[in-house]
Amino acid sequence: MIVLDGVTKTTGEGAKQRAMLTAARVSLPTNRRIAVLARRPGDKKTFIDLLAGLELPDSGRIVRNARVSFPAGHLGGFTTQLSVRLNVAYAARLYGADVDSVVDFVARVSRLGAAYDKPYGDLPKAAKRDFSQILAFSIPFDVYLLSDEVVRGAEKRSKNEIRALIEARAKTSGMIIAVADLTFAREFCEMGLVLSDGRAHLFKSMEQAVAFYENAVGSAKEKRKRRRAKKSAVALAAPIEEKAEGRKTKKRNRQSGGAIDQKREGRKARKREEPTEGKKERRKQKRERKRANKTSDD
């Protein structure tokens, strides 16, 4: 049994930080095949790493009353300078397995040939991942931690040894599997664990787990849809408001411009009128002077 007792775990940094688990309490049987479902793929990986001890909870504790494997395919924990053989021997000794049988088994199944006695760091990444998967299943554990890609990938590669080993371990040990393929989960797993809203919901049947998961995912999608619709409405409203404000501004400008035009026309009119009156006055004065001059001459 693996017991999560009030476990809180946050993921992300800064503004993206959020609570993946909040004071979660659940007891996981280690003799069943349990599918782990979550809307975010990263949450499933983090949960598997928590069970393996590769990550620590922010608060609470995880009690492992069983021999728990490292995640199959995990690339950490190996010494790059040592040969693959020595890494296998070290892992077998660390987990209390028979060193010779594990070393021989991994050598046969991995088909690394001469590379088995060369530094682990020289292996390509894909070969390292295959090696890690084979090593995990070559050591007896009460429960194995993995993703469904390991099982489905073994089938795609048609490696009979890996498939046979997985099937043999599934008969005697439990498996906790981070699942992306719901069809695979229904066919291979017996129970389901759904990570949602900071809690870990354990279901005794996969159908119940899948139904809860699909409902949770649907609700999350609906929330996202409403948020996007709201953002779109705000984005659409902004240009409309800007246009309305622009029309008001133009109207005010036209009104103020009309007043300005009236004042301008008034000034022009006065300028036109004032010189005309002045001319008349000057002509009148000139005529009067002429008459005065003529009178004096007479």
The pLDDT, as a whole number, for residue 247 is 73
User: 90 and 105 in one domain?
Assistant: yes
- Among candidate residues 192, 189, 214, the one with its CA nearest the CA of residue 203: 192
Q: How far apart are the first and last CA of the chain?
A: 144
User: 61 and 79 in one domain?
Assistant: no
- Whether residue 56 contacts residue 38, with contact meaning beta carbons closer than 8 Å, is answered with no
Quote the tokens at residue 278: 């002045």
User: 179 and 64 in one domain?
Assistant: yes
What's phi and psi for 23, nearest 5 deg?
50, 45
More confident residue, 256 or 88: 88
Residue 212 lies in a domain: no
The pLDDT, as a whole number, for residue 222 is 54
User: 238 and 126 in one domain?
Assistant: no
Helix 125-138 × helix 99-110 angle, to 10°: 140
Residues 6+ apart with CB under 8 A from 174: 29, 30, 31, 32, 33, 34, 66, 142, 143, 144
User: 2 and 62 in one domain?
Assistant: yes
User: 20: domain CATH number?
Assistant: 3.40.50.300
Which of the four pLDDT bands, split at 50, 70 and 90, describes residue 158?
very low
pLDDT tens track for 27-83? 999 999 999 999 888 899 999 999 999 999 999 999 999 999 999 888 888 999 999
Of the candidate ranges 32-36, 219-223, 260-264, the one whose mean pLDDT is the lowest: 219-223
User: 172 and 31 in one domain?
Assistant: yes
Which of the four pLDDT bands, split at 50, 70 and 90, describes residue 212?
very high
User: 168 and 54 in one domain?
Assistant: yes
CA distance 149 to 237: 46
Domain boundary among 151, 173, 204: 204
- Exposed e or buried b for every residue in 130-141, given b needs 16+ CB within 10 A? bbbbbbbbbbeb
**pTM of the predicted model over 0.85:** no
pLDDT tens track for 169-188? 888 999 999 998 898 889 88
Q: How far is CA 226 from CA 16, 110, 223, 229, 287, in A?
A: 20, 50, 5, 5, 91
Residue 184 lies in a domain: yes
pLDDT tens track for 106-140? 998 888 889 999 999 999 888 888 888 889 999 99
State the average pLDDT over residues 13-26: 89
Total number of domains constituting the chain: 3
User: 236 and 97 in one domain?
Assistant: no
The pLDDT, as a whole number, for residue 126 is 82
User: 129 and 255 in one domain?
Assistant: no
What residue type is assigned to position 230 of the chain?
Answer: K
Residue 151 lies in a domain: no
The distance from CA 1 to its chain's CA centroid, rounded to whole angstroms, is: 31
Residue 145 lies in a domain: no
User: 239 and 133 in one domain?
Assistant: no
Residue 195 lies in a domain: yes
Residue 174 lies in a domain: yes
Is 146 exposed, middle or buried, given 0-12, 13-18 or 19+ CB atoms closer than 10 A?
A: buried
Residue 159 lies in a domain: no
Is the backbone of residue 239 left (phi > 0), alpha (psi -120 to 50) or beta? alpha
User: 42 and 82 in one domain?
Assistant: no
pLDDT tens track for 267-287? 666 656 555 556 677 777 777
Please determine, for residue 156, whether its predicted confidence score (pLDDT) is greater than 80: no
Domain that holds residue 194: 1-69+164-204
User: 58 and 14 in one domain?
Assistant: yes
Residue 154 lies in a domain: no
